[in-house]
Amino acid sequence: ETGVTQTPRHLVMGMTNKKSLKCEQHLGHNAMYWYKQSAKKPLELMFVYNFKEQTENNSVPSRFSPECPNSSHLFLHLHTLQPEDSALYLCASSQPQGPGYGYTFGSGTRLTVV
């Protein structure tokens, strides 16, 4: 494990379901991110939290709702998703001051919307 833990690893949900993705890091990082990874496309930044405050929302549909209760935990609440939302959802953390040590990613949640 990299130090960033994501659960569940796999999730299949219907379009009317509500589910949540969880991310946890104990690296002492102060910034956390949600990314969407689709085949043959660049990683798509969804949300950024610095010191628990949301600093970026990259025009993400409201059916995705993030929550950051503290600097170690990050959630992504999902409701009334569409089949095109099926993808790998990655959580990452970093120190906000610079990229020298890069981002530390979790293994992701493979989401399938049916």
Partner 1 sequence: QKEVEQDPGPLSVPEGAIVSLNCTYSNSAFQYFMWYRQYSRKGPELLMYTYSSGNKEDGRFTAQVDKSSKYISLFIRDSQPSDSATYLCAAYNNNDMRFGAGTRLTVKP
User: Footprint of partner 1 on residues 34-73 (CB under 8 A)?
Assistant: 40-43, 45
Cβ proximity to partner 1: between 64 and 103 the closer is 103
Q: Which of 7, 101, 112, 114 binds partner 1 (CB under 8 A)?
A: 101
The C-alpha atoms of residue 91 and residue 71 are separated, in whole angstroms, by 13
Q: Which of 24, 42, 28, 51 is nearest to 107 (CA)?
A: 24
CB of 15 to partner 1, least distance (A): 25
Question: Do 111 and 11 meet the contact criterion of CB atoms below 8 Å apart?
Answer: yes
The C-alpha atoms of residue 91 and residue 109 are separated, in whole angstroms, by 9
Cβ proximity to partner 1: between 42 and 83 the closer is 42
Question: Do 46 and 40 meet the contact criterion of CB atoms below 8 Å apart?
Answer: no
108 binds partner 1 (CB under 8 A): yes
The residue count for binding partner 1 (CB under 8 A) is 22
Cβ proximity to partner 1: between 63 and 96 the closer is 96
